A and B are shown apart, each in its own frame.
Chain A
Amino acid sequence: SYVLTQPPSLSVAPGKTARITCGGNNIGSKSVHWYQQKPGQAPLVVISYDSDRPSGIPERFSGSNSGNTATLTINRVEAGDEADYYCQVWDSSSDHVVFGGGTRLTVL
């Protein structure tokens, strides 16, 4: 089965850049979606199709995907960005949705 690997945690100072990676075999050939989940809340899609930003998501959020790694980048990190972030793909070989294990972003 297809596996997505994320670092469990990442700490970033306010105003700096956070880069959250999502590793998978040839993930560059798949479309990657990213979700933000704050404590006690449902997930929210922040990036779809590798790099598309849904309406209402700040321009500070961007995404890229190439080779074996997809990356969610958050520029000028704010305290309100503190959350768990998940990557997700559709694996057509198994007809399964696959989530990464999640990355907890802490704003120092």
Chain B
Amino acid sequence: EVQLLESGGGLVQPGGSLRLSCAASGFTFSNFAMSWVRQAPGKGLEWVSTFSGSGRLIYYADSVKGRFTISRDDSKNTLYLQMNSLRAEDTAVYYCPASKEGYSGSPFDYWGQGTLVTVSS
């Protein structure tokens, strides 16, 4: 059974930093593309970043480029998102969906339950 468990969310002040983790199990993690997608309270889905599978390509949304860094540790089956210079508009539930076909255009096949990040003073 595929499982994705996001963690690391919480309350942080504007300008602060936070690192999210996504622990994966039940599939060959290294073959999957992994992404971060967020959803602000009461709003729609917003893509944040993708780390492809075997190709090892990385992509970022314009809104986070230069502030957020995606990484993965295939030996630990874990995806990370280092978030710096956080802003109020980064407040959202952060999901780490997995794409079994491993490339950037493939659908988000599996989702975790998300972790809430709140940026506020």
Contacts and interface: CB of A to CB of B under 8 A. Distances in A.
Interface string A71-86: 0000000000000101
B107 interface: yes
Contact of A95 (B45, B59, B111): B59
B36 to A, nearest CB: 10
B46 A99 contact: yes
A44 B35 CA distance: 15
Interface residues of A, number: 25
B77 interface: no
- B contact patch SS: loop
A59 B8 CA distance: 38
Contacts of B113: 42
Interface residues of B, number: 21
Contacts of A90: 104-105
A3 interface: no
A35 B105 contact: no
A92 interface: yes
Contacts of A12: none
B45 A102 contact: yes
Interface of B: 35, 37, 44-47, 50, 59, 61-62, 95, 97, 104-105, 107-109, 111-114
